[in-house]
A and B are shown apart, each in its own frame.
Chain A
Amino acid sequence: MTSNNETGATSAKSAASFLSTPIMALLFIAIGGIVVWDTTSYTDADSYVFPRTVAGAMIGLSILLILQWMLGLSGPARPDQVEGLTQSITRRVLLVSAMVAAALAMPYLGFLITGLIAFAIILLASMYDPWTPYRIIVYPLSGIGIVIGFYLLFARVLQVPLPQGPFSF
């Protein structure tokens, strides 16, 4: 039963990998079409000649890519492109979500607080080793030191106006 499931998962992955090229080519054709449509609203020829030409080239190249795939000339996906997709999705999603959330929360909480929270979440997400007493003390303290150090470097030394929150200094 397990073997059947594994075989099914592998074949599904192979099918997805096989179909990714034409799907992406169609997506790029759509993007090119949207760009060409957008250029019709420009008032000056100087504005549309470049993006329209590039979009046309992208559509043409995407059609060629589909033809290449249909003729079986596009080659197999590299092993490193296929494997690894099954590795921890949760940690990856946590990383990206924490970074986007930090960017959105910055104007309200200030850079320092959002930086500390984002650092803590990403630290937890990237932790594979067991939490020993040493790590429980040293890792959070290092994180606080790194965030405050960079904050002071940018805000005070380089005079970058980072968003101020309720607890900024």
Chain B
Amino acid sequence: MAAIENLYDALSPLNFLLALGGVVAGTVIGSLPGLTATMAVAVLVPITFSMEPASALILMGAIYTGAIYGGAYSAILLNTPGTPSAIATTFDGYPMAKRGDGDLAVTLACIASVAGGLVGAVCLLLLAPPLAGVALAFGPVEYFWLAVFGLSLIAALSEGNLLKALIGGCLGLLLSAIGVAEVSADIRLTFGSQVLIGGIETVSALIGLYCIPVLIDLIATPDKHLKVTSESKGLRLKEAMAISWRGKFNLMRSSIIGTIVGILPGAGGSIAGLVAYSEARRTAKNQDEFGKGAPDGVQATEAANNATVGGGFIPTLVLGIPGTPPDAVILGALLVQGVKVGPNLFTSESSIVYTFIYGLFLATILMLPTGLIIGRYAYRSIIAIPKALLVPTVAFMTLIGTYSIRNSTSDVVIMVLLGVIGWILGRLGFSASPIVLGLILGSIAEQGFVQAWTIGSATGDLTGMFFGRPIAMAIVAMIVISLLGPTIVSLVRGGKKEASK
């Protein structure tokens, strides 16, 4: 009975409008390079102070889920992840757009985002208290291995030369070490420059490494940005639904990965997307197509990153530990409203929590029509706009987006320079993706490694610390399978072919 009341509250005209407006605003903000989901939620937090807690939560949840999905547009159409969660979307989304399937990729991303968002919300509704324990089971060493698992994707992104990819990964890890060390506060690799003390901002580096090389190549020829087919194919919804149905196991697995990674404090949508992409590639029959425009890659990433929304709310609401950066902002807003998060929240203030969860379902479902319409409009705009206007518009968006992250002109200069370096390295066979992986996962890997090393040294059991914990060993096993699996499979297939001859 209480559940029906909460559902009724969630569907009130005000909450419906808040969910709809939040999804639209989040999608638009998330699609702009430089504006992250955290920023989208933070900017709109003051509006929520005068609202009922459940309505405020619905608005913030809707903005958050919309922003995570919106990041896919620029990832697919401009090779620039709108938010860090959409990094892995570029791997296959942009190649799809270049060959004339941008509309299909955008629709696939929308369906996958809705599927992932719903799985995350179901887990939040049914399994929040028991799943919150996962957050507590993860220590520094598990985070370290999780980051290494993300880095193992470098092997998949090597584009022909594994050594060059690994060197690129090392370069990214070193870039992540620039500035003040998080563990010991030493100033590292700044060579006396004040500008570098704050380190290299991840999102601006992402914009530089992914977007600037595209602009540099785009401006050099009169060719069209994306291949356009002669007749309009509309949303290609039927085709996308058929592909999604064929990839239902991929969608489900990626959504579960996204939910679990979302539960882990500090991990976030980017790691969820990378891990899900890695798993999708490992288990796919068409492994060779990944990185060249495989729809499965787009589906895996988008399902996983949107599943982190529901997953991230689990530790936030049950334990008061934010699962992702936007959750931290939402947690702050809830505290201002006087809502006490913790294990008792689901009983003492159940009406707020369950109204919010139903509101999250509503926002996720609303994302399907709004996402498809906005996605179609974004795609048509990108292919219709003349190159002479597209290049300066995107360049201007990178300038304003990068500046707004830390209000720093130095970040803008670093972004452009990293872009030029990325373009040169790309020409010489060192692709940008391993560098970005290293940059993003570097701080998590280092923090986990140093903390685990310190604890292991203090307890005198370094080996046990790194290789004696069940979750850590499970992740290590996944890393080994991920790295050696394709080789073993190809050897077995080769052996079978030989035998059949």
Whether the pair B388, A47 counts as a contact (CB closer than 8 A) is no
Given A38-B191, A46-B450, A161-B407, A129:B388 Cβ within 8 A: yes
Interface residue B416 (Cβ < 8 Å from any Cβ of A)? yes
Please, could you name 18 A-B residue pairs with CB atoms under 8 Å apart, sorted by A?
A25-B167, A47-B183, A48-B186, A74-B161, A94-B219, A95-B395, A98-B395, A104-B413, A106-B412, A118-B399, A119-B396, A122-B391, A123-B391, A128-B388, A129-B222, A139-B389, A154-B400, A162-B404
Between B181, B222, B387, B392, the greatest number of chain A beta carbons within 10 A of the residue's beta carbon is seen for B392
Apart from A38-B188, A64-B163, A95-B216, what 10 extra A-B contacts exist at CB < 8 Å?
Answer: A24-B428, A46-B454, A51-B189, A78-B160, A85-B427, A88-B220, A88-B221, A98-B395, A111-B403, A122-B219
Interface mask (A61-81 → B, CB under 8 Å = 1, otherwise 0): 110110010000011011001
The CB with the most chain A CB atoms within 10 A, among B412, B417, B429, is that of: B429
The interface residues of chain B lying within 8 Å CB-to-CB of A55 are 170, 174
A7 within 8 A of B: no
- Asked whether A159 is an interface residue with its Cβ less than 8 Å from the other chain, the reply is yes
Specify which chain A residues have a CB less than 8 angstroms from the CB of B313 in the assembled complex: none
From B35, B160, B386, B416, contact of A96 by CB (8 A): B416
Complex: A120 Cα to B412 Cα, angstroms = 19
- The residue on A at minimum CB distance from B217 is A84
Q: Is A103 an interface residue (CB 8 A)?
A: yes
Chain A contacts for B403, CB-based, 8 A: 103, 106, 111, 160, 162
A119 contacts B186, CB within 8 Å? Answer: no
Q: Which residue of A lies closest to B43 (CB)?
A: A158
Taking a contact as CB atoms under 8 Å apart, the answer to whether A102 and B389 are in contact is: no
CB proximity of B349 to chain A, nearest CB, Å: 31
Residues A47 and B428 in contact in the complex (CB < 8 Å), given A54-B174, A96-B216 = no
Most B C-beta atoms less than 10 A away, residue of A57, A61, A81: A61
**Top 7 A-B pairs ranked by shortest CB distance?**
A47-B186, A128-B222, A103-B412, A58-B170, A44-B184, A122-B392, A87-B220
Minimum CB–CB distance from A167 to chain B (whole Å) comes to: 17
Chain B residue contacts of A68, Cβ below 8 A = 163
The docked-state distance in angstroms from the alpha carbon of A61 to that of B388 is: 42
Residues from chain B with a CB closer than 8 A to the CB of A10 are none
Across the interface, do A126 and B454 meet the contact criterion of CB distance under 8 Å?
no
Question: Does B449 touch A at the CB level, under 8 Å?
Answer: yes
- Measured between beta carbons, the chain A residues less than 8 angstroms from B450 are 46, 49-50
Q: A92-B216, A143-B389 are in contact. Are A43 and B186 (CB under 8 A)?
A: yes
- Mark each residue of chain A from 136 to 151: 1 if its CB lies under 8 Å from any CB of chain B, else 0: 0001001100110011
Chain A residue numbers with a CB within 8 Å of B167 are 25, 28, 58, 61-62, 65
* B39, B160, B387, B427: residue with the most chain A Cβ atoms closer than 10 Å: B427
> Helix, strand, loop or mixed for chain B's interface?
helix
Q: Does A8 contact B (CB under 8 A)?
A: no
The answer for the CA separation of A43 and B220 in the assembled complex, in Å, is 48
Distance in Å: Cβ of B38 to nearest Cβ of chain A? 13
Shortest CB-to-CB span from B393 to chain A, Å, is 5
Chain A residues whose C-beta falls within 8 Å of the C-beta of B397 in the assembled complex? 150
Q: Mark B276-299, 1 if CB is under 8 A from A, else 0.
A: 000000000000000000000000
Complex interface: chain B residues within 8 A of A54 (CB): 170, 173-174, 177
Identify which of residues 112-137 in chain A touch chain B, using a CB-to-CB cut-off of 8 Å: 115, 118-120, 122-123, 125-129, 135
A42 interface residue (CB < 8 Å to B): yes
Tell me which residues across on chain B come within 8 A of A126, comparing CB atoms.
Answer: 218-219, 387-388, 390-392
Q: Which B379-426 residues have C-beta < 8 A from chain A?
A: 386-393, 395-400, 403-404, 407, 409, 412-413, 416-417, 419-420, 425-426
> In whole angstroms, what is the CA distance A58 to B221 when docked?
35
Asked whether any CB of chain A lies closer than 8 Å to the CB of B248, the reply is: no
CB distance A24 to B216 under 8 Å?
no
Interface residues in B, total, Cβ within 8 A:
67
Interface residues on A, range: 35 or more
Q: Does A164 sit within 8 A of B, measured CB to CB?
A: no
B24 to nearest A CB, angstroms?
14
Please, which residue of chain B has its CB at the minimum distance from the CB of A54? B173
Q: Within 8 Å of chain B (Cβ to Cβ): is A168?
A: no
On whether A47 and B184 interact (CB within 8 A), knowing A91-B220, A126-B218, the answer reads yes
CB-CB under 8 A from B425, the residues of chain A are: 24
CB contacts (< 8 Å) of A61 on chain B: these are 163, 166-167, 170
Chain B nearest Cβ from A88, distance in angstroms = 5
Which chain A residue lies CB-closest to B159?
A78
| B16 at interface by CB-CB < 8 Å | no
Asked if B11 is an interface residue, CB under 8 A from chain A, the answer is no
Nearest B-chain residue to A77, judged by Cβ: B429
Distance A110 CA – B184 CA, assembled complex (angstroms)? 38
With A and B bound together, what is the CA distance between A111 and B403 in angstroms? 10
A42 CB contact (under 8 Å) in B35, B186, B386: B186
Q: Is the CB of A35 within 8 A of B221?
A: no
Min CB gap A143→B, angstroms: 6
Contact across chains for A127 and B407 when beta carbons are under 8 A apart:
no
Bound-state CA distance A150–B183 (Å) is: 39
Bound-state CA distance A94–B395 (Å) is 12
A12: Cβ under 8 A from any B Cβ? no
Q: How far is the CA of A61 from the CA of B453 in the complex (A)?
A: 24
Interchain nearest-CB distance for B427 vs A (Å): 5
* Partner among A44, A111, A135 whose Cβ is within 8 Å of the Cβ of B186: A44
**Mask: chain B, 443-463; 1 = CB below 8 Å from A; 0 = not:** 001100110011000000000
Does the CB pair B188–A20 fall under 8 Å?
A: no
* Complex Cα gap A31–B188 (Å): 14
A107 to chain B, nearest CB (A): 6
Q: Which of B183-202 contact A (CB under 8 A)?
A: 183-184, 186, 188-189, 191
Would you call B215 an interface residue if the criterion is a C-beta within 8 Å of the partner chain's C-beta atoms? yes
> How far apart sit A103 and B414, CA to CA, in the bound complex (Å)?
10
Instruction: Give A24 to B189 CA distance when docked, in angstroms.
Output: 20
| A47–B181 CB distance below 8 A | yes
